[in-house]
Chains A and B, each alone.
Chain A
Amino acid sequence: EIVMTQFPLSLPVTPGEPASISCRSSQSLLQSNGYNYLDWYVQKPGHSPQLLIYLGSTRAPGVPDRFSGSGSGTDFTLKISRVEAEDVGVYYCMYALLSPLFGPGTKVEI
């Protein structure tokens, strides 16, 4: 059974500064087709979750290019190049195959 962990669980940020969230899985998410089945979501207060990144590093349509995903296997990172006030929310990584599993979430606040 895969276990997803994230750190930090709480991340104070400063507008204009970069921010980074780490996600680790207990098993490799790299499949034989060369893709990492790892997504990133953000849930802003009072809203449904929103897909930011899929397959580890591909931005979803409409997602600003200040968001980027990287990593492979068991270790992944979501980076925000310059935080904006609207980026506050809880960020989740998710194992995106067979039996999807979300990480515990990282609360990002100004």
Chain B
Amino acid sequence: QVQLVQSGAEVKKPGASVKVSCKASGYNFKTYAINWVRQAPGQGLEWMGWISPNNGNTNYAQNFQGRVTMTTDTSTTTAYMELRSLTSDDTAVYYCAREDFSGYDFYSWGQGTLVIVSS
């Protein structure tokens, strides 16, 4: 079965960067794009972008362009999301999710990674 297992919680200082990983298993990793979605404490869901493991193509949400980089390592079937120049507003749970069905339908999700930005 499809599994997405994310890296553990992180605490970062303002201005730093964070890199979250998402290890995929149970399917052909190159076939499906990986999306990233975040959720600030007590808030709703915010889509950040996707990456195609097949060719490395990316599509970032406008809010994150210039500050986010998504990559994949096909040898380890792992996707990464790096966010730079962190502020307290970036404190959130970050989820990876696999595309499915018509393309932007997220049937499989990781368990989430809490990133706390605090001085």
Contact = CB atoms under 8 A, between A and B. Distances in A.
B69 to A, nearest CB: 18
Interface string B41-68: 0001111000000000001011000000
Given A49-B45, A49-B95, A92-B44, A100 B109 contact: no
Chain A, interface size category, equals: 20 to 34
Contacts of A97: 103-104
A60 B104 contact: no
Given A92-B44, A101-B47, A104-B44, A51 B104 contact: no
Candidate in A58, A92, A99 with the most chain B CB atoms within 10 angstroms: A99
Interface in B94-115: 95, 97, 100-107, 109-112
Query: Which 3 A-B pairs give the minimum distances between C-beta atoms?
Result: A48-B109, A54-B105, A96-B104
Interface of A: 35, 37, 39, 41, 43, 48-51, 54-55, 58, 60-61, 90, 92, 94, 96-105
29 contacts: A35-B102, A48-B95, A48-B109, A48-B110, A48-B111, A48-B112, A49-B45, A49-B106, A49-B109, A50-B109, A51-B100, A51-B107, A54-B101, A54-B102, A55-B101, A55-B102, A60-B101, A60-B105, A92-B44, A94-B45, A96-B102, A96-B103, A98-B104, A99-B47, A100-B35, A100-B47, A101-B47, A104-B44, A105-B44
